Amino acid sequence: MAYDHKAIEAKWQERWESEGIFHTHVDPSRPKFYNVAMYPYPSGELHIGHVRNYTYIDLITRYKMMQGYNVLSPMGWDSFGLPAENLAIETGIHPRISVENQIARMKEHFRKLGAAFDWSRELASHDPAFYRWDQWLFLELFDRGLAYKATAPVNWCPRDQTVLANEQVVDGACERCGTLVEKRNLAQWFFKITEYADRLLDDLDGLDDWPDRVRTMQRNWIGRSEGARFGIEVEGMDESFEVFTTRPDTIFGMTFCVLAPEHPLVGKLIAGGENEGVARDYITRAARESEIERMAEGDKTGVFTGRFAVNPVNGQPVPIYIADYVLMGYGTGAIMAVPGQDQRDWDFATKYGLDIVRTVQPPADWDGQAYLGDGGTINSGFLNGLDQLAAKERIIAWFEEQSIGDRAIQYRLRDWLISRQRYWGCPIPMIDCPECGLVPVPRDDLPVELPDVEDFAPQGQSPLATVEEWVITTCPECGGEARRETDTMDTFVDSSWYFFRYTDPNNSEAIFDPDKADYWMPVDQYIGGVEHAILHLLYARFVTKFLHDIGLSTVDEPFMRMFTQGMLVKDGAKMSKSKGNVVPPDRYYEGYGADALRLFELFVGPPTDDAVWNDSGVPGTKRFLDRVWKMGTASHGFSERAPNHADAELIAATHRTVKKVTEDIDRFHFNTIVSSLMALANEFQTYLSGEPRAEAFDEAYKTMILMLAPAAPHISHELWELRNYQGMLAREPWPTWNEDLVTEATVTMVVQVNGKVRDRVEVASDISPEDAEELALSLEKVQGWIDGASVSKVIARPPNLINFVVG
């Protein structure tokens, strides 16, 4: 008999809500557990990919509650951003309206899923009560010189007269009209995250409960490299340029230099030269391409400027090229090229017939490519014979003696550009006064609220610029007429601190109460998609360190334990609206129920991996729940016999499952907890088909319901109540296991000969290596495989395995 999932799920959702069991308060008497799923963009539809994420967070919330923690699991909305704005441009519907409708829809989905969130702490980034603190944070950064204005290029569509996001540029053209996109320089706001580069890098070492791959990605993203910076003179001109290199020891091998096409010196270098026309074309083309496109070209391209640079160590003139594989945004936008020791330079030199001089002795058979290893310096004047490290020290000292350069550290990390020429975001709280310059909006005037506009489409500037009565204001310093900043902030600003706000979401006096934050922070468990492994996590870490530095937070890392989950894939592609392969969860609530859906979401695969959605999976987990239901509600005709081995075995199997499930939850192997519970249910079936005793069954079954509770809460709660156990299941303690019961008296030992399994034998689990060897040798099959040959080695790993090496 299938159970009535619709009635049961509605009943318990109502009960949890009316009893407010997930409402949380500061309670220093209990250990806290702060559990956060990355807050979603309210796209309207929750799809089964989201459901996977929230099933994980919900499982942990309920599990930790059962373990006695004071668990905070809040939910909110990343509700500013491009999709709502695009919809507004298309339909004229105000983003606030569409976003709030979508939030309501998604909340309904969460309710139907049985999600255990503390809704009293709900927040949304488009709410002025929230984003005024974005503005406050901006001003704090500004006051300390960590927010500044500088010019940076944007994608510009000359036909639509708008700034485009990278996502809106397809193959170098505007996604809407197909016009070739140009780069245009605008004055924009930055956060000086590079000031924190070293701390962001060093503190990764302490994040032991983060996935290694995420830490590695962050390390590489920050990209600290040590080397030297020095100046190079242009021959026959009173000009020079700086280069940064990690390999100053190879300077004698510099046979050309390369400048980025945007390098400020390029114009002067090519002026009047034979290559001027070609160079100008090249620069125009490079400007159209994105950095990724420039780096992605397998074949390096470049143009000779017609000028030569002077190698400072030997006075040799070397040609200066411009090439798009050198980026203006990294280092000094210019490099010394050493083809002998750098593969990209090697490729370039080979293509353009430039000299290659090796300054590090490669191994004897080395040929046809750059040599990056160590091997003793050659062809390098006063550096000859030194190893790489010594040569570096020597040449840097020489730069300093000559006053042409010095030791330098270079980061790949760039400052965080937060300006967006968009409507649907948080206004930047600055005023531009003709008399006083850039003036911050006074804290008391916050929030600077987003005004309503007629037309949402960006027109060169933010749509805010068209709202004259909003833009024109008075200068807080001199009282004269001034203009507001019309750019809005990157939505990553909102998401870089919202987890602090959850700890004190309704505070109208401060961003949050430091005491409340002190109780809850850091987040004990943070869960989200691996696509956020770099940017969002880095920004959140940066802002947390900043809040720490200004005395608001006692912690300087936000997330103790990080978990990045894989995506759900359907029909060979990532689930997304544009691919049209989104599976909404609704269909499952009706036919199978939230519990069956949740269980399959857990079961579908390892949480860290991408998983493939299979439509017949949910019916499978529903079948399992039906079996559990039937076992717990049918009358079994229990036997009055004395306890025997079968009863003991059922109890032991249950204890083994408690151990396995507990350990698997702790290490995030959610897919195998479902397997283990299914296997246990199969044991129950076997037991019930014999002569079951009520006592053994009740004890084991009660434990199974407890284990099922975090994964499939509705059915578990109903069974708990039906079987007359007292209290709400969600508040029951998580079961423990008895180690003596878990350890089995005998185990199967594998017997190998030369590493191949030849027999198995049942042995006592505490068998000695000697006894194991003797027993194994006595086996007929093993004798047959050894076949009189001499056993040269015995590898004994009792009680699991023994291996005889023969011949």
Partner RNA sequence: GCCCGGGUGGCGGAAUGCAGACGCGAGGGGCUUAAACCCCCUUGAGCCGAAUCGGCUCGUGUGGGUUCGAAUCCCACCCCGGGCACCA
The stretch near RNA (CB under 7 A) out of 12-20, 46-54, 55-63, 679-687 is 679-687
Q: Are 497 and 135 within 8 A, CB to CB?
A: no
Residue of 6, 161, 797, 807 that binds RNA (CB under 7 A): 797
Separation CA 489–CA 427 (nearest Å): 6
Residue of 11, 15, 280, 412 that binds RNA (CB under 7 A): 412
Query: Which residue, 306 or 620, has its beta carbon nearer to RNA?
Result: 620
Show the tokens assigned to 547.
């809040």
Query: In angstroms, what is the minimal distance from the CB of 799 to RNA?
Result: 10
CA angle 230, 351, 223 (to 5 degrees): 40
Binding mask 214-253 for RNA (x = CB under 7 A): --xx--xx-x------------------------------
Q: Bridge-partner residues for 750, per DSSP?
A: 760, 801
Separation CA 526–CA 56 (nearest Å): 11
Show the tokens assigned to 84.
């709502």
Query: Does 457 engage in binding with RNA (CB under 7 A)?
Result: no
- Residues whose CB is less than 8 angstroms from the CB of residue 381 and which lie 6 or more positions away in sequence, other chains included: 252, 313, 314
Torsion over CA of 317, 318, 320 and 323, rounded to 10 degrees? -170
Query: In angstroms, what is the minimal distance from the CB of 641 to RNA?
Result: 23
The stretch near RNA (CB under 7 A) out of 391-399, 418-426, 693-701, 702-710 is 418-426
Query: Which residue, 163 or 730, has its beta carbon nearer to RNA?
Result: 163
CA angle 62, 52, 665 (to 5 degrees): 45
Query: Which residue, 21 or 679, has its beta carbon nearer to RNA?
Result: 679
Separation CA 73–CA 84 (nearest Å): 26
Query: Does 348 engage in binding with RNA (CB under 7 A)?
Result: no
Q: Report DSSP state, residue 308.
A: E
Residues 512-541 that bind RNA (CB under 7 A): 530-535
Residue of 305, 495, 503, 716 that binds RNA (CB under 7 A): 495
Show the tokens assigned to 331.
């280092």
Residues 73-92 that bind RNA (CB under 7 A): 78, 80-83
Residue of 523, 674, 700, 715 that binds RNA (CB under 7 A): 674
Q: Are 308 and 235 within 8 A, CB to CB?
A: yes
How many C-alpha atoms does 222 have within 13 Å on its Cβ side?
26
- Residues whose CB is less than 8 angstroms from the CB of residue 78 and which lie 6 or more positions away in sequence, other chains included: 39, 40, 41, 42, 125, 491, 494, 495, 498
Query: Which residue, 571 or 695, has its beta carbon nearer to RNA?
Result: 571
Separation CA 805–CA 790 (nearest Å): 9
If you compute the radius of gyration of the chain from its CA atoms, what whole number of angstroms results?
A: 33
Query: Which residue, 86 or 316, has its beta carbon nearer to RNA?
Result: 86
Instruction: Report how far Cα 384 is from the mean position of its chain's Cα atoms.
Output: 46
The stretch near RNA (CB under 7 A) out of 89-97, 227-235, 360-368, 792-800 is 792-800
Query: In angstroms, what is the minimal distance from the CB of 180 to RNA?
Result: 16
Query: In angstroms, what is the minimal distance from the CB of 632 to RNA?
Result: 14
Residue of 129, 417, 438, 457 that binds RNA (CB under 7 A): 417
CA angle 384, 389, 393 (to 5 degrees): 80
Concatenating the DSSP letter of every residue in 482-529 gives EEE---EE-HHHHTTTHHHHTTSTT-SSSS--HHHHHHHPSBSEEEEE
Strands 562-565 and 525-529, bridge-based pairing: parallel
Query: Which residue, 303 or 537, has its beta carbon nearer to RNA?
Result: 537
Residue of 187, 397, 409, 805 that binds RNA (CB under 7 A): 805
Binding mask 699-728 for RNA (x = CB under 7 A): ------------------------------
Query: Does 421 engage in binding with RNA (CB under 7 A)?
Result: yes
Residues 735-764 that bind RNA (CB under 7 A): 747-748, 750, 752, 754-758, 760
Query: Which residue, 328 or 417, has its beta carbon nearer to RNA?
Result: 417
DSSP 3-state helix, strand, coil percentages of the chain (rounded to 5)? 40, 20, 40
The stretch near RNA (CB under 7 A) out of 109-117, 284-292, 373-381, 583-591 is 284-292
Considering only CA atoms, which of 291, 541, 553, 535 is closest in space to residue 418? Answer: 535
- Residues whose CB is less than 8 angstroms from the CB of residue 487 and which lie 6 or more positions away in sequence, other chains included: 188, 189, 419, 420, 421, 422, 428, 462, 464
Query: In angstroms, what is the minimal distance from the CB of 174 to RNA?
Result: 12
Separation CA 69–CA 217 (nearest Å): 32
Query: In angstroms, what is the minimal distance from the CB of 385 to RNA?
Result: 29
Query: In angstroms, what is the minimal distance from the CB of 515 to RNA?
Result: 30
Q: Are 128 and 419 within 8 A, CB to CB?
A: no
Query: Which residue, 234 or 533, has its beta carbon nearer to RNA?
Result: 533
Q: Are 803 and 773 within 8 A, CB to CB?
A: no
Query: Which residue, 53 or 70, has its beta carbon nearer to RNA?
Result: 53
Query: Which residue, 18 or 792, has its beta carbon nearer to RNA?
Result: 792
Residues 587-606 that bind RNA (CB under 7 A): 603-606
Q: Are 158 and 179 within 8 A, CB to CB?
A: yes
Query: In angstroms, what is the minimal distance from the CB of 752 to RNA?
Result: 6
Residues 253-272 that bind RNA (CB under 7 A): none
Query: Which residue, 614 or 743, has its beta carbon nearer to RNA?
Result: 614
Residues 123-182 that bind RNA (CB under 7 A): 152, 154-155, 163-168
Query: Which residue, 387 or 615, has its beta carbon nearer to RNA?
Result: 615
CA angle 583, 584, 586 (to 5 degrees): 140
Residue of 29, 205, 208, 212 that binds RNA (CB under 7 A): 212
Query: Which residue, 271 or 295, has its beta carbon nearer to RNA?
Result: 295
Query: Which residue, 230 or 424, has its beta carbon nearer to RNA?
Result: 424
Please give the size of the binding site for RNA, defined by CB under 7 A: 100
Separation CA 440–CA 417 (nearest Å): 18
Separation CA 713–CA 79 (nearest Å): 29
Query: Which residue, 68 or 807, has its beta carbon nearer to RNA?
Result: 807
Residues 288-347 that bind RNA (CB under 7 A): 290-292, 295-298, 330
Residues 99-128 that bind RNA (CB under 7 A): none
Residues 543-582 that bind RNA (CB under 7 A): 567, 574
Single-letter amino acid, residue 451: P
Residue of 616, 724, 726, 790 that binds RNA (CB under 7 A): 616
The stretch near RNA (CB under 7 A) out of 52-60, 129-137, 250-258, 487-495 is 487-495
Show the tokens assigned to 701.
């079954």
Concatenating the DSSP letter of every residue in 218-249 gives HHHHH-EEEEEEEEEEETTSS-EEEEEES-GG
Query: Does 654 engage in binding with RNA (CB under 7 A)?
Result: no
Query: Which residue, 356 or 747, has its beta carbon nearer to RNA?
Result: 747
Distances (CA, A) of 804 to 164, 758, 765, 773: 69, 10, 20, 9
Query: In angstroms, what is the minimal distance from the CB of 758 to RNA?
Result: 6
Q: Bridge-partner residues for 185, per DSSP?
A: 153
Query: Which residue, 448 or 599, has its beta carbon nearer to RNA?
Result: 599
Query: Does 41 engage in binding with RNA (CB under 7 A)?
Result: yes
Residues 682-701 that bind RNA (CB under 7 A): 682, 685
Residue of 187, 634, 722, 795 that binds RNA (CB under 7 A): 795
Query: Which residue, 197 or 266, has its beta carbon nearer to RNA?
Result: 197
Binding mask 43-62 for RNA (x = CB under 7 A): --------------------
